[in-house]
Amino acid sequence: MVARQTAAHPYQDPALPVGERVADLLGRMTLAEKAGQMFHAMVWMGEGGALSEDPQRASRGVTAREMIAGKQMTHLCLLGSGPARQIAGWHNRIQELAAGTRLGIPVTLSTDPRHSFTENPGTGALAGAFSEWPEPVGLAALCDPETVRRFADTVRREYVAVGLRLALHPQLDLATEPRWSRTAGTFGEDARLAARLGVAYIEGLRGGRELGPDSVSAMVKHFPGGGPQKDGEDPHFPHGKEQVYPGGRFDYHLEPFRAAIDAGVTQVMPYYGVPVGTEYEEVAFGFNGSVITGLLRDQLGFDGIVCTDFAIITDHHIMGEPHEARAWGVEQLTPAERILAALAAGVDQFGGESCPELLVPLVRSGMVPVSRIDHSVGRLLAEKFRLGLFDERRYVDPDLAEATVGGAGFVEQGADAQRRSVTLLKNRGELLPLAGRPRLYVEGADPAVAERYAEIVDDPVAADLALLRLTTPYEHRPGRFESFFHSGRLDFPAQRLAEILVLLRVVPTIVVIHLERPAVIPEIAEHAAALLGVYGTNDEALFDVLLGRAEPRGRLPFPLPRSMAEVAWGHPDTPSDSPNPLYPFGYGLRYRGREACTHGS
């Protein structure tokens, strides 16, 4: 491992104020070195924690070595996962490579969420070695900022142990459009609740009043709120680029971001969407000066880093499929012209891109002033200094990483949150909690786990009870990448619904549905003996709840619609606008005959 540099220059002296260190380093940087800071690309870890030299396992064919040593880039987002020791070792190799460059600027390593049950590689990673918690929408079901703060503190400790210092989360969008595929990553539909939980999340990641060597910086997203998508389609794809506000609730979606800015968040990511029918320009938010400069910076007073969502400049391949740049509203511009437009809008950094060679000529030609580049690069360097990356936090200890990540205490805290987030929606005849070892027919759960709690039978007719685990329905979409974005209808197809109802009529059935979006299940709710909503709960945690070893404490973070007609009738930007949902926002029962309770906004 390369030893830490001595303070040969002022920027290397940790005793100096951050502003002085930034000014000194900026004065020593070439234009190419400055341009490299403004690109934040994705990178894969090599086998066993090695640096991957395979262009097939590289973002746009550019390896980490080429990004750091060739393109002077120092912001990388880790894709995929692995054992903690391997991630830590890989991180140290990345930092050794960076330390060998002319100025030795350390790498800021970022990540999408990786502590939940998500199965969408476009928005997050499976927990893997890290402790496993409910999805953010499940944390919202608990309505408890302290739980969110503990969760974020756990994320901080596990991330710092392996060298991950920038979280591309939390997601502060509001789940006001039930069909939107990214609902599970939100704190639900209520702006005040999302604001309180978002602040707790930021504070937990920070680990103190200000960013420091033991902090993880939060990049909140997706400004100005990515929830009100037309028909619930996602702007990763051209057919989902429109954000609409028929209810006139644009400002409602700003509330969590206002709270985050007041709490001192230092990084913000705008989404891909195009605002339709508002006072703002009808171009994607990453190119939208009226939103980034006019609203975010001038009105809301944010002076931190604005990093675009990934891949808005150049076309690219994902999972072997071609995808056009998400330059919605400015598709006619060349990549260089898109960079100009985003810089004019107020952007500091380009996510998912590795083309500083397009920026350098724009500066040399005078189209972009050097002072404009210095302004953004100064923000980015200041963040590195605050995080201690030039000093004691450049490297991590693989032994400590292995001992910290997935530690028993963190795992148990995650399992406890899984259990408490379970939302009891129906409990006919106080069926739950179960007693003894019932004869149980199981679908959708692991029989090996179930048999530790019950006698498992293969025929529902021979069972005392059935357990049926379901997931909110969705429409299968063409394309390998888009197939991970669960969108479209929220009700079960007729044939599948008929199969479910047969089981519910044969034997009293406990239905457990994973609410990654608000499911439309009126017939299932009517015929189920018990109905529970979950948001990321493993089988062990679920059975602990079913047998009364833990009590469900969750409350719905969004209403469950009664029909697809109700969904289509609703306004995508408006919370709880149905007059007669199947279950309202905040609904949740308790055991032992306690009444339903709701959480207010």
Residues 173 and 231 in one domain: yes
Tokens 């005959």 -> residue = 593
pLDDT for 393: 79
Catalytic residue among 112, 173, 234, 309: 309
Range of weakest confidence among 66-75, 84-93, 118-127, 415-424: 118-127
Residues 344 and 467 in one domain: no
Q: Is the pLDDT of residue 599 over 90?
A: no
Q: Is the pLDDT of residue 14 over 50?
A: yes
Q: Is the pLDDT of residue 229 over 80?
A: yes
Reduce the DSSP state of residue 211 to 3 states and report it.
Answer: coil
Which residues partner with 441 through β-bridges? 466
Over residues 155-175, the mean pLDDT reads 98
Residues 240 and 322 in one domain: yes
Of 598, 430, 451, 594, nearest to 510 (Cα)? 430
Residues 231 and 95 in one domain: yes
pLDDT for 264: 98
CA distance 220 to 307: 10
Burial of 213 (0-12, 13-18, 19+ CB in 10 A): middle
CATH number at residue 447: 3.40.50.1700
Please name the residue ranges forming H helices in 207-241.
none
Whether the CB-CB separation of 138 and 536 falls below 8 Å is answered with yes
Per the prediction, the chain carries an average pLDDT of 95
pLDDT for 58: 65
CA distance 115 to 77: 16
Q: Model confidence over 89-112: pLDDT tens digits?
A: 999 999 999 999 999 999 999 999
Quick one: CA torsion of 48, 53, 57, 59, rounded to 10 degrees?
120
Whether the CB-CB separation of 501 and 544 falls below 8 Å is answered with no
Residues 94 and 191 in one domain: yes
pLDDT for 119: 76
Residues 311 and 441 in one domain: no
pLDDT for 597: 45
Over residues 117-137, the mean pLDDT reads 91
Q: How many domains does the chain have?
A: 2
Which tokens belong to 243? 């954000």
In a domain, 220, yes or no: yes
Cα separations in angstroms, 171 against 79, 222, 225, 271, 387: 18, 7, 9, 11, 22
Q: Is the pLDDT of residue 61 over 70?
A: yes
pLDDT category, 52, cuts 50, 70, 90?
confident
In a domain, 8, yes or no: no
Residues 433 and 340 in one domain: no
Whether the CB-CB separation of 217 and 165 falls below 8 Å is answered with yes
pLDDT for 133: 98
Residues 400 and 437 in one domain: no
pLDDT for 137: 98
pLDDT for 346: 98
pLDDT category, 5, cuts 50, 70, 90?
very low
**Predicted model pTM:** 0.96
In a domain, 24, yes or no: no
Q: What is the DSSP string of 321-334?
A: EEE----TT-TTS-
Residues 337 and 463 in one domain: no
pLDDT for 4: 45
Of 201, 248, 246, 193, nearest to 221 (Cα)? 201
CATH number at residue 255: 3.20.20.300
Degrees to nearest 5, angle at CA 208 with 206 and 212: 65
Q: Model confidence over 557-594: pLDDT tens digits?
A: 999 999 999 999 999 999 999 889 999 999 999 997 55
Residues 196 and 343 in one domain: yes
Whether the CB-CB separation of 382 and 22 falls below 8 Å is answered with yes
In a domain, 281, yes or no: yes
Which residues partner with 47 through β-bridges? none
Q: Is the pLDDT of residue 7 over 80?
A: no
CA distance 524 to 501: 7
State which of 373, 404, 435 marks the end of a domain. 404
Q: What is the largest CA-CA distance in the chain?
A: 80
Over residues 40-49, the mean pLDDT reads 93
In a domain, 119, yes or no: yes
Task: Please indicate whether residue 192 or residue 596 has the higher confidence score (pLDDT).
Answer: 192
pLDDT for 380: 98
In a domain, 13, yes or no: no
Over residues 214-229, the mean pLDDT reads 97
Q: Model confidence over 15-43: pLDDT tens digits?
A: 999 999 999 999 999 999 999 999 999 99
In a domain, 3, yes or no: no
Residues 429 and 554 in one domain: yes
pLDDT for 553: 97
Over residues 184-206, the mean pLDDT reads 98
Q: What is the enclosing helix (H) or strand (E) of 339?
A: helix 335-345
Which tokens belong to 417? 């949150």
Which tokens belong to 228? 């009100």
In angstroms, the first-to-last Cα distance of the chain is 51
User: Is 309 one of the annotated active-site residues of the chain?
Assistant: yes
Q: Is the pLDDT of residue 290 over 90?
A: yes
Q: What is the enclosing helix (H) or strand (E) of 270?
A: strand 267-270
Residues 95 and 218 in one domain: yes
In a domain, 456, yes or no: yes
- Which domain covers residue 293, as residue numbers? 37-404
Q: At what angle do helices 335-345 and 356-364 cross, to 10 degrees?
A: 70
Which residues partner with 276 through β-bridges? 244
pLDDT for 593: 54
pLDDT for 56: 65
State which of 359, 377, 404 marks the end of a domain. 404
Which tokens belong to 214? 């033991």
pLDDT for 126: 87
Range of weakest confidence among 22-26, 212-216, 345-349, 595-599: 595-599
Contacts (Cβ under 8 Å, ≥6 apart) of 262:
199
pLDDT category, 269, cuts 50, 70, 90?
very high
Reduce the DSSP state of residue 411 to 3 states and report it.
Answer: helix
Over residues 472-478, the mean pLDDT reads 95
pLDDT for 154: 98
